[in-house]
Amino acid sequence: MDSHVHLVISAHNDEECEEEFVRLSKESHEIVVGTRPKDWARILDIHKTNSSLMTGLITGSVGLHPWFVLETLVGNSNGTWLATLQSLLEQNLTLQVGEIGLDKIWSPPEHLKIQYRYEDQVQVFRQQLTLAGNLKRRVSVHCVKAHTQMLDILSNEPNKSSPPLIYLHSWSGSSEITRQFLKSRVLKKRLYFGVSASVNLRGILAFSYDNHADCSKCLTRTYCWHMVDNDTKPLTNSESSQSMRLWKNHQGEIESHPWRASKKWEKFCTMIRLVPPQRLLLESDMPGFKGNLQARKESIDLIAFVVSDSLNVEVQDLLKMCKSNLERFQKPIL
């Protein structure tokens, strides 16, 4: 189960990654997101393959991510990207829209800075939102430091052109802005909130990408999690293997809850407890791993442990509930 998978990135072995993903994820529920036009064909291939080869449900999602708006507009001055996106969606009725959104802290590469306007992000987001609404497609939304503006846009979208379901992935809003989203009469029944270790545990935990297979008590085997000291910089990769605070016994159970020591723990708890249980999703959101199943599973396990602790529920009960939520979100709206 993973409600936000980044699979396709520019690399010489993308095709091998795709084959590995299809082989290992065949019994899982996943949403695989594309972020720019050159991703979309491969996402569509995976989406189509699902119907013939897989016993689970892997849903493809195509969209223009705010990080890639500028490079796409510069390379598509005639606006063909939007027509291409619309054509893909019209020809594939269960394909969803995403990852789309707003990111106020993203900075363009040096050679494109003179051409960058945040307003282009907003326009592209609105265009995709309207397209998704008109075609009755669910959307996966990225939002960084633009929560109030996002709320205003989503709340004031004309009903006919508003998406039927909206997934706020790796949700980073404060408890107050979360309340405002949930109070919105037009939004509250359509919202889903996702959390990930890679985004939502920043400032609480950090991790290295080293393979610590020799660490017999590591909670994760693909990468190593450790505490972030609020008064110092995060530890280096070599230091992190010496500083593991997350352990498991032979039954795989966490023996301690080190995340509770973080100053950000209570803020996370307050926010996550506001989210209606039936609208909570878990995700990996790890583009650097190209869809690697083991890394994603370990990331999901970790965020599940932390969320279950904050909600005072059993981990397995939380996983079962979130899987059911994802299945419900994935159902086509025709």
User: Quick one: 23 and 115 in the same domain?
Assistant: yes
Find where tokens 């994760």 sit: 220
- Whole-model pTM over 0.75: yes
Find where tokens 């998406």 sit: 163
280, 321 contact by CB (below 8 A): yes
* pLDDT of amino acid 232: 36
Which of 239, 257, 275 represents a domain boundary (last residue)? 257
User: Quick one: 128 and 242 in the same domain?
Assistant: no
How far apart are the C-alpha atoms of 268 and 276, rounded to whole Å?
Answer: 15
User: Quick one: 312 and 322 in the same domain?
Assistant: yes
User: Quick one: 75 and 212 in the same domain?
Assistant: no
> Above 60 in pLDDT, residue 17?
no
How far apart are the C-alpha atoms of 262 and 320, rounded to whole Å?
Answer: 27
Between β-strands 224-227 and 205-208, what pairing exists: parallel, antiparallel or unpaired?
A: antiparallel
pLDDT in tens, 276-317: 999 999 998 887 665 567 778 878 888 999 999 999 999 999
What is the residue-averaged pLDDT of the chain? 80
The H-or-E segment that residue 178 falls in is helix 175-183
CATH code of the domain containing 176 = 3.20.20.140
User: Quick one: 248 and 136 in the same domain?
Assistant: no
Report the amino acid identity of residue 204.
I
pLDDT in tens, 254-272: 446 777 877 889 999 999 9
Number of structural domains in the chain: 2
225, 301 contact by CB (below 8 A): no
DSSP state of 72: H
pLDDT top residue among 83 and 7: 83
How far apart are the C-alpha atoms of 224 and 226, rounded to whole Å?
Answer: 7
Residue 30 is assigned to a ligand binding site: no
pLDDT in tens, 232-256: 343 333 333 333 334 333 334 444 6
Q: Looking at residues 75-86, what average pLDDT do you find?
A: 84
User: Quick one: 294 and 320 in the same domain?
Assistant: yes
Q: Which two tokens stand for residue 71?
A: 């490079």
Radius of gyration from C-alpha coordinates of the chain: 20
User: Quick one: 270 and 186 in the same domain?
Assistant: yes
> Above 80 in pLDDT, residue 42?
yes
124, 150 contact by CB (below 8 A): no
Q: Looking at residues 108-129, what average pLDDT do you find?
A: 91
How far apart are the C-alpha atoms of 281 and 187, rounded to whole Å?
Answer: 17
Please report the DSSP string for 271-288 in residue order.
Answer: HHHHS-GGGEEEE---GG
Residue 65 is assigned to a ligand binding site: no
Q: Sheet containing 96-103: give its strands across.
A: 2-6, 29-33, 57-62, 96-103, 139-144, 166-168, 191-196, 280-283
User: Quick one: 149 and 288 in the same domain?
Assistant: yes
Which has the closest alpha carbon to 61: 71, 50, 70, 72? Answer: 50
* pLDDT of amino acid 111: 82
User: Quick one: 217 and 317 in the same domain?
Assistant: no
The H-or-E segment that residue 299 falls in is helix 293-311
How far apart are the C-alpha atoms of 253 and 246, rounded to whole Å?
Answer: 10
Residue 111 is assigned to a ligand binding site: no
User: Quick one: 95 and 164 in the same domain?
Assistant: yes
* pLDDT of amino acid 224: 53
pLDDT in tens, 170-219: 999 999 999 999 999 999 899 999 999 889 988 787 655 444 444 333 44
Domain span at residue 235 reads 205-257
User: Quick one: 320 and 231 in the same domain?
Assistant: no
Range with lowest mean pLDDT among 67-81, 111-125, 259-273, 299-313: 67-81
User: Quick one: 309 and 187 in the same domain?
Assistant: yes
